[in-house]
Structure 1
Amino acid sequence: MPQDSPMPLKRVLYHHRTQGKAVEGVHIRGVSDALRAEGVAVDIISVPGADPYASPKAMSPTRSSKSWMRALTRLPEPLFELAEIAYNAIAGWRVLAYLRRNADVDFIYERYSLFMISTVLLGRMRGLPVILEVNDSAAVHRVRPLFFHRVAMAMERYAFRKATGLVFVSAAFRNRIQQAHGTLAPAIVTHNAANIDKFSFTEQQRSDARAHWGLEGHVVCGYLGAFVPWHAIDKFVYEIADRLEQAPHLKLLLVGDGATYPEVKAFVEKRGLSDRVILTGRVSHDAVPGLLAAMDMAILPSAGDYTSPVKLFEFMACAVPPIAPDFEPIREVLVEGSTGWMFRAEDTAAAVQAVLQRSTDADELRRIGQAARAYVAAERQWRNNVLQLSDFYTGLRQPATAAA
Structure 2
Amino acid sequence: MDSMGNAGRQAVRKVLYHHRTQGKAVEGVHIRGITDALRARGVAVDIISLPGADPYSSPRAMSPTRQARPWMKLVTRLPEPLFELAELAYNLVAGFRIAAWLHRNPDVDFIYERYSLFMYAPIWLARMRGIPIILEVNDSATVERVRPLAFRRLAMAIERRAFRKASGLVFVSSIFRDRALAAHGSMAPAIVTPNAADIAKFTFTAEQREGTRARLGLDGHVVCGYLGGFVPWHAIDRFVRLIADHLAAAPHLKLLLVGDGATYPALRAFVESRGLSRQVVMTGRVAHDEVPGLLAAMDMAVLPSAGDYTSPVKLFEFMACGVPPVAPDFEPIREVLVEDETGWMFRAGDLAAAVERVLAHSRDSAGLARVGAAARNYITAHRQWRNNIEELLAFHHSLASGMATR
TM-score by length of 2: 0.97
The corresponding residue for 2:351 is 348
**Aligned equivalents of 1:97, 1:258: Cα separation in 2:** 38
**Superposition pairs for residues 82-121 of structure 1, below 5 Å?**
82-121=85-124
The offset of 1:61, in angstroms, is 3.2
Query: What whole-Å deviation, never above 9, does each CA across 1:360-404 have from its counterpart, x for those lacking one?
Result: 100110110000000000010000001100000000001299xxx
The offset of 1:36, in angstroms, is 0.2
1:146 and 2:142 aligned: no
**Superposition pairs for residues 301-340 of structure 1, below 5 Å?**
301-340=304-343
**Aligned equivalents of 1:96, 1:367: Cα separation in 2:** 52
1:257 and 2:260 aligned: yes
- Preserved CA contact (<8 Å) 2:170 2:191: yes
Tell which deviates more after alignment, 62-71 or 299-308: 62-71
- 1:246 is paired with a residue whose SS is coil
Tell which deviates more after alignment, 49-58 or 249-258: 49-58
**Aligned equivalents of 2:64, 2:70: Cα separation in 1:** 15
Q: Give the aligned residue type for 2:402.
A: P
The offset of 1:89, in angstroms, is 0.9
**Superposition pairs for residues 144-293 of structure 1, below 5 Å?**
144-293=147-296
- Preserved CA contact (<8 Å) 1:15 1:44: yes
Query: What whole-Å deviation, never above 9, does each CA across 1:266-321 have from its counterpart, x for those lacking one?
Result: 00000000000000111121111111000000000000000000000000000000
**Aligned equivalents of 1:7, 1:136: Cα separation in 2:** 31
- Preserved CA contact (<8 Å) 1:20 1:55: no
Question: Which residue of 77, 81, 86 corresponds with 2:80?
Answer: 77
The offset of 1:46, in angstroms, is 1.1
Question: Which residue of 12, 15, 19 corresponds with 1:12?
Answer: 15
Q: Give the aligned residue type for 2:399.
A: L
- 1:252 is paired with a residue whose SS is strand
**Aligned equivalents of 1:55, 1:351: Cα separation in 2:** 35
**Aligned equivalents of 1:269, 1:61: Cα separation in 2:** 26
TM-score by length of 1: 0.98
* Percent of aligned positions that are identical: 70
The offset of 1:142, in angstroms, is 0.5
The offset of 1:357, in angstroms, is 0.7
**Superposition pairs for residues 19-34 of structure 1, below 5 Å?**
19-34=22-37
The corresponding residue for 1:45 is 48
Q: Give the aligned residue type for 2:235.
A: A
The offset of 1:7, in angstroms, is 3.4
- Preserved CA contact (<8 Å) 1:55 1:65: no
- 2:158 is paired with a residue whose SS is helix
When residues 144 and 115 of structure 1 are mapped into structure 2, their CA distance, relative to the original with a 3 A threshold, is same
The offset of 1:59, in angstroms, is 2.2
- Preserved CA contact (<8 Å) 1:195 1:382: yes
Alignment RMSD: 1.2
- 2:191 is paired with a residue whose SS is strand
**Aligned equivalents of 2:354, 2:326: Cα separation in 1:** 8
Tell which deviates more after alignment, 49-58 or 270-279: 49-58
**Aligned equivalents of 1:115, 1:233: Cα separation in 2:** 32
1:136 and 2:122 aligned: no
The corresponding residue for 1:386 is 389
When residues 396 and 73 of structure 1 are mapped into structure 2, their CA distance, relative to the original with a 3 A threshold, is same
Question: Which residue of 61, 64, 74 corresponds with 2:64?
Answer: 61
- Preserved CA contact (<8 Å) 2:80 2:149: yes
Give unmatched runs, 5+ long, in structure 1: none
Question: Which residue of 125, 130, 149 corresponds with 1:127?
Answer: 130
**Aligned equivalents of 2:105, 2:146: Cα separation in 1:** 39
**Aligned equivalents of 1:59, 1:88: Cα separation in 2:** 27
- Preserved CA contact (<8 Å) 1:7 1:38: no
- Preserved CA contact (<8 Å) 1:339 1:372: yes
Give unmatched runs, 5+ long, in structure 2: none
The corresponding residue for 1:365 is 368
- Preserved CA contact (<8 Å) 1:167 1:187: yes
**Count of residues in correspondence between the two structures:** 401
- Preserved CA contact (<8 Å) 1:62 1:259: no
- Preserved CA contact (<8 Å) 2:224 2:302: yes
**Aligned equivalents of 1:4, 1:145: Cα separation in 2:** 43
The offset of 1:4, in angstroms, is 6.8
Query: What whole-Å deviation, never above 9, does each CA across 1:169-223 have from its counterpart, x for those lacking one?
Result: 0011101111111101000001000011000100011111110111111100000
